[in-house]
Amino acid sequence: MKYPKAHEKWRDHIQRGLWSLDPRWLEEGFQVSEDELARIWAIIESQYLSKYPRLLKLDTNVKSGLLEIAFPGGGGVSEYVGNFEIPADLRVKIQEWKDYYWVKLIAPPDDSIEVLTDSEDLTHLYVGGPFPSDEEFEEADRRCREIALDLRMLIPPEYYLEFTEFCEIVLGRTPEEGPRELPPPSWVSDFS
């Protein structure tokens, strides 16, 4: 094992139910074999940690828009990237996204409160008016993905960047092609 600290963070992330390749991993009592976990970690080490000097995740909730992650899909195990300069126009886009998502969708000015209950033991408190529609969340996602593509142009090409877990954002082969988000690698679906 080449990256024991990252491995320790990854195992902790799995145990806390914050990282999975399959929704079944989150079910109580579901077990993933040690052999399967070792196989996944070997892929993460060889295809990500050994290949990229830095792994970054777009997070528009931090000033720079970036988090450094310990492994792909590791948004919950991250550090703020504070030394990354973003041009003013992209900072404006990030702020517009924050205004749309956090102000319009999550906490509109009317400050009404609606309690949503998914099950008897899981209650979410939602501050705002009516719960946002799927279309509104899709619009927020589209705007954020657009920011990720813009950020890709600013980040050194040897760095890994993701917005969606395991979906690397890469530069096009030509400037005209522009950046794009790749689908998850085939090995991810092999585990689900």
Half-sphere exposure of 148 (CA within 13 A, CB side): 25
Tens digits of residue pLDDT in 118-162: 433 333 344 445 667 889 888 988 888 898 888 898 888 899 999
**Strands 122-127 and 160-162: what pairing?**
unpaired
State the pLDDT at residue 115: 42
Q: Which of 175, 164, 182 is nearest to 72 (CA)?
A: 164
Strands 113-119, 55-58: pairing is unpaired
**Residue 47 pLDDT greater than 90, yes or no:** yes
Contacts 24+ apart (CB under 8 A), 58-64: 58/144, 58/147, 58/148, 58/151, 58/161, 58/162, 58/163, 58/169, 60/94, 60/97, 60/98, 60/101, 60/144, 60/147, 61/98
pLDDT at 168 (0 to 100): 92
Distance, CA of 99 to CA of 122 (rounded, Å): 28
Question: Average pLDDT for residues 88-115, to the nearest whole number?
Answer: 71
Q: What are phi and psi of 54, to 5 degrees?
A: -145, 145
* Domain locations along the chain: 4-87+137-190
Q: What is the pLDDT of residues 26-40, one digit of tens each?
A: 666 667 788 988 988
What is the mean predicted confidence (pLDDT) over 7-30? 73
* Residue 24 reports pLDDT greater than 70: no
What type of residue is 53?
P
Range in 49-58, 89-98, 107-116, 143-152 with the lowest mean pLDDT: 107-116
Average pLDDT, the chain: 78
- CA distances to 9, 39, 82, 108, 173 from 46, rounded to whole Å, are 17, 11, 27, 45, 23
Q: pLDDT tens-digit profile of 58-78?
A: 876 666 678 888 888 877 666
